[in-house]
């Protein structure tokens, strides 16, 4: 077989994928090495089988997290960022972030440094997966989470620090702020949400919805309370929908204008006609009621576009509905440059590290997203079908086994073996 080669992206966005692309990977902390070892074997088997050995991935390990620190004294070496930037597509295991102090999230840093502005987390039900809800098959959503701003920008100052005193003094003396309840003992965080950041995220969500034949995009926000961040997210979301997609979409902003002018019946009629004509419905929901309605009326939601923190909460909540965080894939994508890092939604699950125990499905399904992104659909389909077959045979890891009658519990590595056996 030939030497590995770089994936390239042309100016028009077209991706050129050689038969042996070099793909950097980060093994990850905690359970990362366990799930990555299984995932790597499954991906290699699927690619080999799908293309009779004519295609293969040339893996290139790059370091981040504890392994990077042990080798280089840095948590996220420049070399890692440079390599992913150069090779365009990467896949990673989870990385640990300490709570309340210590280094800031390396996962977030990778997204910000490489400007991977959209975190796409599809949430789908696999038949047979144990779920806490009655009709898990009603959940079929794709979350687009803004990945570079919001409270995750990490602009915050600790209680008692000189910096926080300066910020509080500035807010009180120059900005007329008089409602910091306990100024002497407050930490302060800043939440930047921009028009550019919102519009590129919502644009990606609408493009995805139109390409995939989805019915709606819901903008999820807490704009009643945070008016100029989350409220503006909603306004900019509707703006980009109406200004750039014209009559391909019908928005609730349009609905509101019709209702104001001609009454509710006219608004409902316009929406019904738009939906019947196959237009994409762009609507919105306030985050708290949204979290209730995805449980009570999941069929009403399809593509979801939201800010960083909301997207984090919504990802784990929706994952629970289709069987849990063990089967929740994701991708961090810059749709303008083609750069992407694929990773599971879950974290390092440290209590299970090194036990060959946890479910590798999230990272394996993230790899399915990666293979689809490369347009290696045959290999992606082999994995998805093997996943269906393996779950149907009730051979599963501990997380599913504890909720499933008659299951055979297997280790992480054995679940990988089973997937490979079931590829046909």
Ligand X SMILES: O=C(O)CCC(=O)C(=O)O
Ligand Y SMILES: NC(=O)C1=CN([C@@H]2O[C@H](COP(=O)(O)OP(=O)(O)OC[C@H]3O[C@@H](n4cnc5c(N)ncnc54)[C@H](OP(=O)(O)O)[C@@H]3O)[C@@H](O)[C@H]2O)C=CC1
Q: Which residues are catalytic?
A: 152, 222, 288, 312
Among 230, 302, 343, 418, binds ligand Y (CB under 6 A): 343
Q: Which of 131, 147, 359, 390 binds ligand Y (CB under 6 A)?
A: 359
Residue choice 105, 124, 172, 194 for contact with ligand X (CB under 6 A):
105
Nearer to ligand Y, 42 or 209 (CB): 42
Residue 191 is labelled as binding a ligand:
no
- Give the residue ranges of DSSP H helices in 23-105: 32-50, 66-72, 78-87
Residue 150 engages ligand X in binding (rule: CB under 6 A): no
Report what 348 binds from ligand X, ligand Y, Mg ion, none; CB cut-off 5-8 Å by kind: ligand Y
Helix H segments across 322-406? 361-373, 377-392, 398-401
Residue 349 annotated in ligand binding? yes
Which of 55, 68, 96, 208 binds ligand Y (CB under 6 A)? It is 96
Q: How many CB atoms lie within 10 A of CB 421?
A: 13
DSSP, collapsed to helix, strand or coil, labels residue 410 as coil
Nearer to ligand Y, 254 or 343 (CB): 343
Reference 143, options 214, 95, 94; nearest CA is 214
Buried b / exposed e across 290-321, counting CB within 10 Å, b at 16+? bbeebeeebeebbbbbbbbbbbbebbeebbbb
- In angstroms, the Cα distances linking 419 to 328, 342, 360, 410, 415 are 17, 20, 11, 12, 6
Nearest to 45 by CA among 402, 411, 383: 383
Q: Is 346 annotated as a binding residue?
A: yes
How many chain residues are in contact with ligand X, going by CB under 6 A? 8
378 C-beta neighbours (distance < 10 Å), count: 14
Residue whose entry in the numeric block shows the structure tokens 């703006």? 239
> Of the ranges 113-121, 276-284, 304-312, 369-377, which one interacts with Mg ion (CB under 5 A)?
304-312
Q: Between residues 312 and 399, which has the closer beta carbon with respect to Mg ion?
A: 312
Could you say whether residue 90 binds ligand Y (CB under 6 A)? no
CB 91 within 8 A of CB 23: yes
> Is 312 one of the binding residues for ligand X (CB under 6 A)?
yes
Judged by CB under 6 A, how many residues of this single chain contact ligand Y? Answer: 19
By CB under 5 A, residue 343 contacts Mg ion: no
Determine contact, residues 339/116, Cβ cutoff 8 Å. yes
Minimal distance in Å, beta carbon 369 to ligand Y? Answer: 14
402 annotated ligand binder: yes
Position among 312, 343, 356, 369 found at the interface with Mg ion (CB under 5 A) = 312
Q: Which stretch binds ligand X (CB under 6 A): 35-43, 102-110, 249-257, 378-386?
A: 102-110
404 secondary structure, DSSP code? S
Q: Does 329 bind ligand Y (CB under 6 A)?
A: no
Piece in contact with ligand Y (CB under 6 A), picked from 93-101, 142-150, 234-242, 282-290:
93-101
CA distance to 168, 189, 410, per residue, from 162 (Å) = 10, 15, 53
**Measured from the CB atom, is 49 or 104 closer to ligand X?**
104
CA 99 to each of CA 71, 79, 103, 105: distance values in angstroms, whole numbers, following the listed order: 23, 26, 9, 10
Nearest CA-CA partner of 258 in 250, 300, 231: 250
Please list the residues that pair with 22 across neighbouring strands.
58
Piece in contact with ligand X (CB under 6 A), picked from 101-109, 195-203, 373-381, 386-394: 101-109
The tokens describing 256, both together, are 């509101």
Residue of 399, 401, 407, 422 that binds ligand Y (CB under 6 A): 399
Residues 314-333 binding ligand X (CB under 6 A) are 315
Shortest separation between residue 124's beta carbon and ligand Y, angstroms: 17
Q: Is 350 marked as a binding-site residue?
A: yes
107 annotated to a ligand binding site:
yes
Contacts with ligand Y by CB under 6 A lie at 31, 35, 94-97, 107, 325-326, 343, 346-350, 358-359, 362, 399
Known binding site for Mg(2+): residues?
Answer: 312
Known binding site for NADP(+): residues?
Answer: 96, 346-352, 359, 398, 402
């Amino acid at each position: 077989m030939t030497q590995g080669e770089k994936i390239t992206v042309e100016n028009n966005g077209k991706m050129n994928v050689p038969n042996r692309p070099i793909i950097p990977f980060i093994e990850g902390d905690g359970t990362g090495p366990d799930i990555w070892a299984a995932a790597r074997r499954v991906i290699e088997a699927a690619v080999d089988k799908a293309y009779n050995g004519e295609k293969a991935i040339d893996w290139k390990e790059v370091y981040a997290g504890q392994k990077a620190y042990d080798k280089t004294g840095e948590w996220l070496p420049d070399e890692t960022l440079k390599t992913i930037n150069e090779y365009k597509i990467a896949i990673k295991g989870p990385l640990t972030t300490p709570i309340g102090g210590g280094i800031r999230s390396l996962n977030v840093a990778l997204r910000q440094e490489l400007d991977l502005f959209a975190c796409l987390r599809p949430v789908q039900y696999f038949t047979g997966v144990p779920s806490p809800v009655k009709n898990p098959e009603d959940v079929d959503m794709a979350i687009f989470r803004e990945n570079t701003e919001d409270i995750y920008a990490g602009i915050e100052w600790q209680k008692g620090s000189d910096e926080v005193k300066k910020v509080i003094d500035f807010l009180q003396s120059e900005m007329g702020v008089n409602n910091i309840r306990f100024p002497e003992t407050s930490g302060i965080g800043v939440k930047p949400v921009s028009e550019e950041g919102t519009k590129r995220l919502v644009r990606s969500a609408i493009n995805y919805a139109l390409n995939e034949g989805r019915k709606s995009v819901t903008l999820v926000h807490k704009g009643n309370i945070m008016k100029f961040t989350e409220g503006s997210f909603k306004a900019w979301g509707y703006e980009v929908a109406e200004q750039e997609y014209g009559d391909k979409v019908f928005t609730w902003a349009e609905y509101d204008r019709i209702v104001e002018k001609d009454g509710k019946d006219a608004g409902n009629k316009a929406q019904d006609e738009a939906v019947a004509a196959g237009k994409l419905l762009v609507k919105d929901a306030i985050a708290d009621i949204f979290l209730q309605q995805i449980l009570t009326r999941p069929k009403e939601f399809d593509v979801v576009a939201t800010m960083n923190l909301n997207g984090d909460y919504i990802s784990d909540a929706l994952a629970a509905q289709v069987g849990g965080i063990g089967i929740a894939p994701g991708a961090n994508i810059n749709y303008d440059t083609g750069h992407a890092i694929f990773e599971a939604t879950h974290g390092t699950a440290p209590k299970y590290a090194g036990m060959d125990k946890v479910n590798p499905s999230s990272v394996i399904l993230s790899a399915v997203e990666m293979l689809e992104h490369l347009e290696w659909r045959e290999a992606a389909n082999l994995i998805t079908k093997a996943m269906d077959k393996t779950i149907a045979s009730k051979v599963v890891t501990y997380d599913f086994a504890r909720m499933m009658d008659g299951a055979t519990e297997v280790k992480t590595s054995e679940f990988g073996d089973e997937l490979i056996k079931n590829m046909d």
